[in-house]
Amino acid sequence: MAQDIPRQRPPDMRIGFIGLGNMGGGMAANLVKAGHAVQAFDLSAEALARAREAGCTTHDAAADAVADADVVLTMLPNGAIVRAVYADAVLGKAPAGALLIDCSTIDVASARDVAGAATAQGYRFVDAPVSGGIAAANAGTLTFMVGGAADDFAAAQPVLAEMGKAVIHAGDAGAGQAAKICNNMLLGASMVATCETFAMAEKLGLDLQTFFDISSKASGQCWSMTSYCPVPGVGPVTPADNAYQGGFASALMLKDLRLAMQAAGDVGATVPMGEKAEALYAAFVESGKAGLDFSAIIETF
């Protein structure tokens, strides 16, 4: 159930924000713009300097950034780091009853464990991974997929709405992460299918813009083609038109596909297309293409 962005803005809050990298930096800046007091911590001095420029106050330790926070937000690289930051610097350090929101993309099991530990200590917790890349984080147009109890979702929704265009309740704890990796598994597999199809269409002598015009109005249409075409000069302007710079890095697609394969194994799901996409992105990343947009995998074909 998509939730409308609220008409009334939430009251100004103290927000402890841990992890102000490519994504977190823009998200924190949008919370400052919305009038909140953002108390930042990151291991990187450069990230902290950018946070100060954006109007955050910065702290030398994560526990200090969250000590008097109404809300704690984390935007960190992986599940092991989220577990460690929560254990060392959030649980027992943030005020009792604070709302804890993890926006990192992490494995479902870590999200559920952190949620269990947080709620056992009387905190409110949601996992809220995002769709949309660095540009959306900067522009405040992310989509949040949220897992947690209904009243915790209701508390998190107005805060997340300050950084996004859509905030969707996916279900109980871990459901946000589950929705994110299922979506990105579909995206990875559909991008591979789009790329191999355009490569074959070219070999069959089809004009690629003509094939785009036909397929985008026929039953083959999908987002990877119509909104994010991997062929330069065909369809809308995409990273393909900028030598595959910017966009969503292949390394991050591989990260999400690996999380999807881990989750599939945990629940016994049969995902042959996801497995194939993971293998293709692993080979692509290992060939030195980690930083290229994920649509650059068309080079494989």
By CB under 6 A, name the binding residues for ligand NAD. Answer: 18-24, 41-44, 47, 62, 75-77, 81, 85, 104-105, 130, 133-134, 248, 252, 255
Query: Which residues are part of the catalytic machinery?
Result: 180
* C-alpha 240, offset from chain centre: 21
Encoding tokens for residue 101? 């929101």
3-state secondary structure of 146: strand
Per-residue tokens: 134: 């660095």
CB closer to ligand NAD out of 49 and 269: 49
Shortest Å, Cβ 103 to ligand NAD: 7
Q: How far is the CB of 214 from ligand NAD (least distance, A)?
A: 31
Q: Give the CB-nearest residue to ligand NAD.
A: 21
Contacts of 175 (CB under 8 A, 6+ apart): 127, 145, 146, 147, 148
Which CB, 42 or 162, lies closer to ligand NAD? 42
Taking the least distance from each CB to ligand NAD, the nearer of 60 and 151 is 60
User: Which tokens go with 165?
Assistant: 């265009």
In a 10 Å sphere around its CB, with 0-12 CB exposed, 13-18 middle and 19+ buried, how is residue 206 labelled? middle
Around Cβ 193, how many Cβ atoms within 10 Å?
17
Q: Which is nearer to ligand NAD, 181 or 264 (CB)?
A: 181
Least distance CB 168 / ligand NAD (angstroms)? 15
CB of 202 to ligand NAD, least distance (A): 29
C-alpha span between 5 and 107 (Å, rounded): 28
